[in-house]
Amino acid sequence: LFFMKPKDSRDGRDLPPSPPSLPIIGHLHLILLSTLTHKSFQRLSSKYGPLLHLRIFHVPIVLASSASVAYEIFRDQDVNVSFRHSPPIEESLFLGSYSFISAPYGDYWKFMRKLMVTKILGPQALERSRRFREDELDRFYKTLLDKAMKKESVEIVEEAAKLNNNTICKMIMGRSCSEETGEAERIRGLVTESMALTKKIFLATIFHKPLKKLGISLFKKEIMSVSRKFDELLEKILVEHEEKMEEHHQGTDMMDVLLEAYRDENAEYKITRNHIKSMFVDLFIAGTDTSSTTIQWIMAEIINHPKILERLREEIDFVVGKTRLIQETDLPNLLYLQAIIKEGLRLHPPGPLLPRTVQERCEIKGFHIPEKTILVVNSYAIMRDPDFWEDPDEFKPERFLSISRSGQEDEIRDKFLKYIPFASGRRGCPGTNLAYASVGTAVGVMVQCFDWKIEGENVNMNEAAGTMVLTMAHPLKCTPVPRTLNLLPP
Ligand code: HEM
């Protein structure tokens, strides 16, 4: 009975297979087997199959965990799975109804995505904002140098978060967040508070409908408090930009781009001030911790693999030399560094689970998926699948040197998608280019300019439980020792 294929009660068609469940809680006990949800899901899929139908209390979930299932989902059902569950607190700027991340696939999402790809995060826009990032990278290097001179240890994720946060601030506002007035600190604090809330929001999203009927609104107070603090800060920045626009100042930062769209009477979609503010909250949430945790994991892997570190340093010394700091424009010539970043993201994707909603009933791998089902793609399991990856749990950047540049096209032709740290399809990450640039230059500077001392033999690579972004259980702490370089002033 346990292994009988469950049927959709309405029309008797086959749902994907389902592991044994318990009354009331469904499969919750299986998901709680590990405190790391992606690992519980990985275990379930290796035991019961790559496409499963699960249930947590009354909520049905379809779990996808193989490269060929991912291919079918992102190629054949892309629009149909380009939806997320509606947000629990509509009026919040933070993952509420103004948010681009929470937006359903529709006119608003399409308008913003186009703006983002053409004017904010696309290659040409990134070229225009390159100098903002160079300034911040220089500041990052100087902070590390200062720590090195004082022989102080550095918590890598913390410094990387400051770098990414300041970079995004600068790209949004066209100026640095002021450390003196506490602006930078406030933004960092808000991002940390928001990240701590994302898991709660995910739970609230799943359970808010039945609870709302009982008059219970999960975590509303906490979510609205963060939203109000963001609102206050972003309104100030917005007004600052409007005043500059009135003085006919021609700005090039993200706020200028969105204000122009806001004032455009003929725009395809009329955005509001709340849309603008919410978009920046989205960028902070989606772009800060993801990149910082990736930098941390990659540094940990490199420190644990001295031969890889040595080879990377040789490459950087050869391509960049010892008289200037690595820059974004060097990255296309640093193939081993690129391979290291890809391998780091394969083993440690910051978003190991990709939650979507299936909008209309459809078929995947011949199984019936009812409308409005939550779909979870386990990118962690897919990128460690032993059927597709040799030594799947080993850090071996060389594997990406042998994969052709058109790796993803080959995958698509062969009808599988085995490398998806940035997801795929329409709702895939629009910040991919920025992420590769930020992670590449940060890791590059740390390897080019410093040796790293750790306490003990090896870095502990355990994953932290209870976070939405996959991060280290024991944050990497190490002491930089400056290398002998002859850096000329920029
Ligand atoms: C290593 C760094 C990063 C990784 C691994 C990453 C990964 C992802 C993934 C997997 C998704 C899609 C989730 C899904 O399919 O449901 C996503 C979405 C998104 N990412 Fe990134 N991301 C990174 C950095 C960034 C950066 C730097 C930005 C921009 C500043 C950014 C902006 C976004 C946005 C706005 C979305 C939502 C897209 C939508 O809903 O249409 N990400 N990211």
Instruction: Tell me the C-alpha distance between 469 and 18, whole Å.
Output: 27
CA of 422 from ligand 1 middle (Å) equals 6
pLDDT tens-digit series, residues 100-110: 999 999 999 99
- Binned at pLDDT 50, 70 and 90, residue 208 comes out as low
- In the chain, the percentage of residues whose pLDDT exceeds 90 is 70
pLDDT at 33 > cutoff 90: no
At residue 218, what is the residue type?
A: L
Give the pLDDT of residue 3: 46
Going by DSSP bridges, is the β-strand pair 362-364/477-482 parallel, antiparallel, or unpaired?
Answer: unpaired
pLDDT at 132 > cutoff 80: yes
pLDDT at 177 > cutoff 70: no
| CA 356 to ligand 1: nearest atom | 16
| CA 293 to ligand 1: nearest atom | 1
CA of 14 from ligand 1 middle (Å) equals 33
Quote the tokens at residue 9: 């009660």
Residue 358's DSSP bridge partners are 373
Q: Whose CA is nearest to atom 16 of ligand 1?
A: 354
CA of 350 from ligand 1 middle (Å) equals 10
* Residue at token pair 């990497």: 476
Instruction: Tell me the C-alpha distance between 144 and 123, whole Å.
Output: 29
* Residue at token pair 């290097």: 141
Pocket residues: Cβ below 6 A from ligand 1: 100-101, 168, 282-283, 286-287, 290-291, 294, 345, 349-351, 354, 356, 421-423, 427-431, 434-435, 439
Give the pLDDT of residue 253: 84
Over the chain, what is the mean pLDDT?
90
Which phi and psi angles does 356 have, rounded to 5°? -135, 175
Give the pLDDT of residue 5: 47
Pocket test for ligand 1, best of 338, 429, 470 (most atoms within 8 A of CB): 429
CA of 429 from ligand 1 middle (Å) equals 4
pLDDT at 160 > cutoff 80: yes
CA of 299 from ligand 1 middle (Å) equals 21
Please tell me which of 9-13, 209-213, 473-477 the model is most confident about, judged by mean pLDDT.
Answer: 473-477
Q: Whose CA is nearest to atom 21 of ligand 1?
A: 429
CA of 360 from ligand 1 middle (Å) equals 24
Superfamily of domain 28-482: Cytochrome P450 (1.10.630.10)
Q: Whose CA is nearest to atom 2 of ligand 1?
A: 291
Give the pLDDT of residue 402: 76
Q: Which residue has the higher pLDDT, 3 or 42?
A: 42
Q: Whose CA is nearest to atom 14 of ligand 1?
A: 354
pLDDT tens-digit series, residues 78-121: 999 999 887 778 888 988 899 999 999 999 999 999 999 998 99
Instruction: Tell me the C-alpha distance between 483 and 488, whole Å.
Output: 15
pLDDT tens-digit series, residues 310-366: 999 999 999 999 999 999 999 999 999 999 999 999 999 999 999 999 999 999 999
| CA 424 to ligand 1: nearest atom | 15
| CA 103 to ligand 1: nearest atom | 40
Query: Which stretches within 288-371 are classed as H helix?
Result: 289-304, 306-320, 335-347
pLDDT tens-digit series, residues 244-297: 877 766 667 888 889 999 999 999 999 999 999 999 999 999 999 999 999 999
Give the pLDDT of residue 490: 66
Q: Which residue has the higher pLDDT, 453 or 176?
A: 453
What are the domain boundaries of the chain? 28-482
pLDDT tens-digit series, residues 468-484: 899 999 999 999 999 98
pLDDT tens-digit series, residues 436-449: 999 999 999 999 99
- Binned at pLDDT 50, 70 and 90, residue 145 comes out as very high
| CA 420 to ligand 1: nearest atom | 10
Q: Whose CA is nearest to atom 31 of ligand 1?
A: 431
